[in-house]
Amino acid sequence: ALTTLELFDQYQILDGNMARSDRIWGRLTQGLERFVQAGQVVHPRRQGMIFAFDVVPTYAGAMFAERFHLAARDKGVLLRPIGNTVYLMPPYVIDDAEIEHMVAGTLATLAYIVDTAGDVHASA
């Protein structure tokens, strides 16, 4: 444990994480803005390198967490929502290209899910 803390100090891990967190947050909130404005997403938030937002139940549809997880996997992103809350918890070693892939995949999945929520309600 002490060696890990020494490495964190030596390589300024926390400073790098703050910069990465800011990049992720900026890109994510920019992409979520249209969903927030449409009333489909509420409460975007972050704590360090953990990001989350809630999909309004009307737009989440039935079995939201499972549908979102499977749709995200199809886009090459591993996300596991809890209820109607989507969490992103990237590793500390994530780079800019991976950040873009994660955010773009999350937003594309969200667009697909809210666009098909009515189909899920109709077939239930």
User: pLDDT per residue over 24-66, tens digit each?
Assistant: 999 999 999 999 999 999 999 999 999 999 999 999 988 999 9
The pLDDT > 70 percentage for the chain reads: 94
Nearest to 41 by CA among 25, 22, 28, 23: 28
pLDDT score for 6: 86
Nearest to 51 by CA among 76, 20, 8: 20
Nearest to 81 by CA among 99, 63, 97: 63
Q: Residue 122: pLDDT band by 50, 70, 90 thresholds? A: very low
> What average pLDDT score do residues 95-101 get?
96
pLDDT score for 8: 78
Q: Fill in the DSSP letter of residue 12.
A: T
